[in-house]
Amino acid sequence: MVLSSLLGGCGTPSEENPLLTEYKTPFDTPPFDRIRPEHYLPAFEAALTEARAEVDSIRNNPAPATFENTIEALEYKGQRLNNIAAIFFNLLEAETSEQMQQIAQQVKPMITEFSNDLSLDPVLFERVRTVWEQKDSLKLDLDQQVLLEDTYKSFTRRGAGLPEADKARFREITTELSGLSLQFGQNVLKATNDFVMHLTDSAAVAPMPDFVKDGMAQEARDRGMEGWCVTLQAPSYIPFLTYSPFRELKERVWMKYNTRGLAADSTDNQEIVRRITSLRLEMANLLGYSTYADYVLEEKMAGNRATVDAFLHDLLEKSMPYARKDYETICNYANASGMYSDFEMKPWDWAYFDEKYKNEHYALSDEQIKPYLQLDNVRKGIFLLANKLYGLTFKENPEIPVFHPDVTAYEVYDEKDKFMAVLYLDFFPRASKRGGAWMTSFREMYVDREGHEVRPLVSVTCNFTKPTDSIPSLLTFDEFTTFLHEFGHALHGILAEGRYASLTGTNVRHDFVELPSQIMENWAIEKEFLDLWAVHYQTGEKIPTELIEKIVAARTYNAAYFNVRQVAYGMNDMAWHSITTPVNGSVVEFEKQAMAPAQLLPVIPNTCMSTAFNHIFSGGYAAGYYGYKWAEVLEADAFSLFKEKGIFNREVADSFRRNILSKGGSEHPMVLFERFRGHKPDTRAMLERMGIKE
In 10 A of CB 313, how many CB atoms? 14
The amino acid at residue 567 is V
Catalytic residue among 50, 54, 72, 486: 486
Cβ pair 623, 577 in contact under 8 A = yes
Q: With helix as H, strand as E and coil as C, how does 550-580 read? A: HHHHHHHCCHHHHHHHHHHHHHHHHHHCCCC
Dihedral sign of CA atoms 564, 569, 570, 576 in order: positive
| Calculated CA dihedral for residues 165, 168, 172, 173, nearest 10 degrees | 60
Establish whether 486 is a catalytic residue.
yes
Nearest alpha carbon to residue 272 among 257, 258, 262, 286: 262
State which H helix or E strand residue 276 sits in. helix 270-286
CA-to-CA dists, residue 507 to 444, 496, 511, 529, 681, angstroms: 9, 10, 11, 30, 21
SS3 state of residue 495: coil
How many Cα atoms occupy the beta-carbon half-sphere of 62 within 13 Å? 0
**Could you give the count of Cα atoms lying within 13 Å of 301 in the half-sphere of its Cβ?**
29
Q: In degrees, to the nearest 5, what angle opens at C-alpha 592 toward C-alphas 588 and 595?
A: 135
Q: How far apart are CA 255 and CA 593, in angstroms?
A: 20
Query: Is 513 buried (19+), middle (13-18) or exposed (0-12) by CB count in 10 A?
Result: buried
Other Cβ atoms less than 10 A from the Cβ of 645: the count is: 14
Q: How many residues does the chain have?
A: 694
Q: How far is CA 354 from CA 221, 358, 479, 549, in A?
A: 30, 6, 17, 19
Sequence-distant (6+) residues with CB within 8 A of 32 are 401, 402, 403
3-state secondary structure of 400: coil
Q: What is the DSSP string of 660-691?
A: IITTTTSS-HHHHHHHHHSSS--THHHHHHTT
Residues labelled catalytic? 486
